[in-house]
Amino acid sequence: MKKKLLAALLALTLIISFVPSAFAASEPVSAPSRVMLSWTAEPATTMTITWVDADTVAAGAVRYSTDKSLTDATEVKATAAPNKSAMDEDGARFTATLTGLSPATTYWYSVGSGDNWTAPQSFTTAETTTDNFSFLFLGDIQVTQSAAVDFPAWGKLAEAAYAKNPGLAFALQAGDIVESGIDTNHWAAFLDAATPVFSKIPFFATNGNHESNFLSGKPELYLDTFTFPLNAPKGFAEEFYSFDYGNAHVLVVNSWVFSGEQKLTEAQLDALDAWVALDLAASNATWKIVLTHVPLYPIHSDTTGVKAREHWIDIFQQYGVDLMLVGHQHVYSRLKPMTGGAPDYEDGIVQIMGNSGLKFYDSADETYAERTIYNVSNYEVLSVDGNSLTVQAFDIDGNELDYLALSPRESRGATRAEFVDLLWRSIGSPTATGGEAFSDVPASSPYAAALLWARSVGVVNGIGGNRFDPDSKILPEHIVWILERYENYSS
């Protein structure tokens, strides 16, 4: 059944010629391997581990301890990884989240089952609060020669980055991880190259166009491969997500939705826009960093990037995004801080495009560029120190290619009515069944439908006297209450 489905998908995919390279199934997995870390919950006290094992393994587990010998280790049973598709048949994929860990502590762990366990590996949990840490950014990987050449070369870049910066807290990757999203060989080769570093520090990615070449427009093997936070709008798990580390908020958004491959309606795109705004409006972090594949300011003509900009740039401007980390166009490119379509050193957002693989473009529109580097695989180290953020770009030998220091942008915040409106739109603008309008949110208000619904389901109560106070800036504690009440209502 799986093979027939695979063959049908493959034939159709080839007919519409999304995929240039021949498809080949990867070797079956025979032992626990390809271990990757991420967080799906609090970085100070949890760790999420994802790996593959032989198809015959029904119950995988993680054993972990502060002692490398793993004597008296705690064992946590794995679950099957979420989003597993029929395409992923080279092995069993497991995930487990360790909880109740101590902050700022090094743990040793091993994954497997029965007598088959990986060699102990270590990670260190985050401090409970921190405003002093660094993380890694990596642009497109892909394949330009062969999977056997490109992925190991990329793995060496990742290992060089980690060796030079052993304190890195986590890594962000900008999509186009593989060349052919349907080729399990590419995913296997990527994971083999990634595991040496990213079984030690969490790895987060966004999906690019090269992951998404399925008929559904969904990046199916990307979804199989990773375990990312599950706070996305319904139907977009792991394509959209966010997490906090110290005083930074990282928002990951799938800009490839604007290509049209998923055939989303305007209403669906509006709900995604509202979720993006809601996520940023709900964060008090000093630093707000967006990771996405297609640049909102393309440096080659790109209609998808222009659409992403039309949908999202005003939201990013309003809610204090400091930095956009992007890929897609295969150069290292740092633009001047931009507002709308023009440089703005007072309040612009910086866009940095990385390129960690071997595929290079030899031209770019440099109109708004501050630094452009061609034909060099690069990685970026971002270092937060309170209200300062520095970005350094390096080549594999550790030569510094670029340097930037940033101050945080201000969030203009949402009003009380705007915030409820974002929540309401992000879940598809449900119609209230009955209920009473607040006296200060009349039917003529653009927020009338949102507030009527929110009050009718108990998500908001108002300030007394049948009033809501729609135009005041929303306070952080009220954001927490509203989201908690919505959580209770919807669960």
Which residues sit at the interface with Fe ion, rule CB under 5 A?
140, 176, 208-209, 328
Dig out the tokens for 382 from the structure.
């971002």
Q: Which is nearer to Fe ion, 201 or 325 (CB)?
A: 325
CB of 252 within 8 A of CB of 238? no
**What 3-state DSSP class applies to 182?**
coil
Nearest approach in angstroms of CB 10 to Fe ion is 22
Q: Which is nearer to Fe ion, 305 or 337 (CB)?
A: 305
Nearest approach in angstroms of CB 283 to Fe ion is 27
Nearest approach in angstroms of CB 210 to Fe ion is 6
User: How would you class 183 by CB atoms within 10 Å of its CB: exposed for 0-12, middle for 13-18, buried for 19 or more?
Assistant: buried
Q: Which is nearer to Fe ion, 328 or 409 (CB)?
A: 328
Q: Which is nearer to Fe ion, 44 or 324 (CB)?
A: 324
CA atoms of 395 and 435, how far apart (whole Å): 61
CA atoms of 359 and 329, how far apart (whole Å): 10
CA atoms of 300 and 29, how far apart (whole Å): 40
Nearest approach in angstroms of CB 11 to Fe ion is 25
Q: Which is nearer to Fe ion, 140 or 273 (CB)?
A: 140
CB of 56 within 8 A of CB of 112? no
β partners of residue 464? 467
Determine the angle formed by the axes of helices 147-164 and 184-198, rounding to 10 degrees.
Answer: 20
CA atoms of 365 and 300, how far apart (whole Å): 6
Residue with nearest beta carbon to Fe ion: 176
The residue behind tokens 């991420």 is: 38
Q: Which is nearer to Fe ion, 142 or 165 (CB)?
A: 142
Phi-psi region of 424 (alpha: psi -120 to 50; beta: other; left: phi over 0): alpha
CA atoms of 94 and 49, how far apart (whole Å): 8
Q: Which is nearer to Fe ion, 176 or 380 (CB)?
A: 176
Nearest approach in angstroms of CB 258 to Fe ion is 13
CB of 77 within 8 A of CB of 102? no
Q: Which is nearer to Fe ion, 52 or 294 (CB)?
A: 294
Name the pairing type of β-strands 287-291 and 323-326: parallel
Q: Which is nearer to Fe ion, 169 or 193 (CB)?
A: 193
Nearest approach in angstroms of CB 23 to Fe ion is 19
Nearest approach in angstroms of CB 370 to Fe ion is 22
User: How would you class 124 by CB atoms within 10 Å of its CB: exposed for 0-12, middle for 13-18, buried for 19 or more?
Assistant: middle
Nearest approach in angstroms of CB 316 to Fe ion is 20
Outline where 165-286 has alpha helix (H).
184-198, 220-225, 266-281
b/e 428-451 (16+ beta carbons within 10 angstroms → b):
eeeebeeeebbebbeeebebbbbb
Nearest approach in angstroms of CB 252 to Fe ion is 15
User: How would you class 257 by CB atoms within 10 Å of its CB: exposed for 0-12, middle for 13-18, buried for 19 or more?
Assistant: buried
Q: Which is nearer to Fe ion, 182 or 282 (CB)?
A: 182
Nearest approach in angstroms of CB 357 to Fe ion is 8
Dig out the tokens for 369 from the structure.
């560029």
**What 3-state DSSP class applies to 80?**
strand
